[in-house]
Amino acid sequence: MKEMTWLGRLMGGSALAVGLALAGCDGSSSKSLGEGFDFGPNNPSLYVAFGDSITAGTGLAAPGSDAYSVKLAGMLNKTVLNAGYPGASSGELVDRIHDILDDNKPGFLLILAGINDLIMGYGEDVAAINVRIMIQACTDNKTIPVIATLTPVFGGYAGHSSAVGRLNDKIRAISSELGVALVDLNEAFEDNLAYMQTDGLHPNETGHALMAITFYDVVQ
């Protein structure tokens, strides 16, 4: 029943209709993320999806139309650039973040990072530190950071499940401590293999659709 609900919201019409559904269909409004924020020289209508191959849409038949960033752009009716770098660790993303912020001047940076740190053996502590560094870079740039938990892993990557859980707990704690918006993708996926490609690491098209609606819930 839950799957039918979010798929219906994703496919069912205007952003206003989706917004009403998210508000419980009572028409009530709440303060949107970024309302009253000083964006400085940045474009408050520009979002950048920043991460690794999961953000890039690796393995999808049509990453240019199936990746969560494209689906989210349609829901928001705003531009969402895809800055996904396959294979990038959180440290490599730290190396890239200033160029991303300087070149694009986004109002929002959607950060999904850390799985490659676990695969490469760097560990969750390093990834958590780098998430903090990326948040600070956004804050210094007057860009609103939005951080996401990692999606679950299966198959050949299942051995990293415990580390994924620990890193996700750290990401949630960082969100709470720093007051940064959190998109809990891991909770949304509910360890459901139906959202994953056969490699057990990358979300499939349905998974990216779920990612889009989960991000939308937070950034709308």
More confident residue, 45 or 1: 45
In a domain, 7, yes or no: no
Asked if residue 32 belongs to a domain, the reply is no
- Round to whole Å and give the CA distance between 144 and 126: 22
Q: Answer whether residue 16 is part of any domain.
A: no
Q: Is 117 a domain residue?
A: yes
3-state DSSP percent of the chain in helix, strand and coil, to 5: 55, 15, 30
Q: Is residue 142 part of a domain?
A: yes
Name the residue with higher pLDDT: 67 or 9. Answer: 67
Q: Does residue 103 sit within a domain? A: yes
Q: How far apart are CA 214 and CA 8, in angstroms?
A: 13
Given a cut of 80, whether residue 7 has pLDDT beyond it is: no
User: 90-116, pLDDT tens digit by residue?
Assistant: 999 999 999 999 999 999 999 999 999
pLDDT exceeds 80 at position 67: yes
Longest dimension (CA), the chain: 48
Whether residue 176 lies inside any domain: the answer is: yes
Residue of 220 and 13 predicted with greater confidence: 220
* Number of CB atoms found within 10 A of residue 7's CB: 14
Per-residue pLDDT tens digits for 171-206: 999 999 999 999 999 999 999 999 999 999 999 999
User: From the CB of residue 62, how many other CB atoms can be counted at a distance below 10 Å?
Assistant: 10
Q: How many other C-beta atoms can be found within 10 angstroms of the C-beta atom of residue 25?
A: 9
Report pLDDT digits (tens) over 11-30.
Answer: 443 333 333 333 333 334 46
Tell me which residue range forms the domain holding 124: 42-219
Task: Give domain status of residue 182, yes or no.
Answer: yes
- CA–CA gap between residue 67 and residue 61 (Å, rounded): 10
Q: Across the beta sheet with 43-51, what order do the strands follow?
A: 79-84, 43-51, 106-112, 144-148, 181-183
pLDDT score, position 31: 78
Q: How far apart are CA 62 and CA 73, in angstroms?
A: 16
The position carrying tokens 């999808």 is 60
Beta bridge partners of 48: 81, 109
Distances (CA, A) of 45 to 69, 108, 133: 14, 8, 24
- Determine the pLDDT at residue 22: 35
Do residues 160 and 116 lie in contact, with contact meaning Cβ atoms separated by under 8 Å?
no
Q: C-alpha distances in angstroms, 26 versus 22, 23, 213? A: 9, 7, 19
> Could you identify the residue written with the tokens 């190396």?
95
What mean pLDDT is predicted for residues 146-174? Answer: 98
Return the closest-CA partner of residue 174 out of 193, 147, 138, 211.
147
Residue 169's contacts (CB-CB under 8 Å, 6 or more residues apart) are none
Q: What is the CATH number of the domain that holds 215?
A: 3.40.50.1110
Q: What is the pLDDT of residue 1?
A: 36
Q: How many domains does the structure of the chain reveal?
A: 1
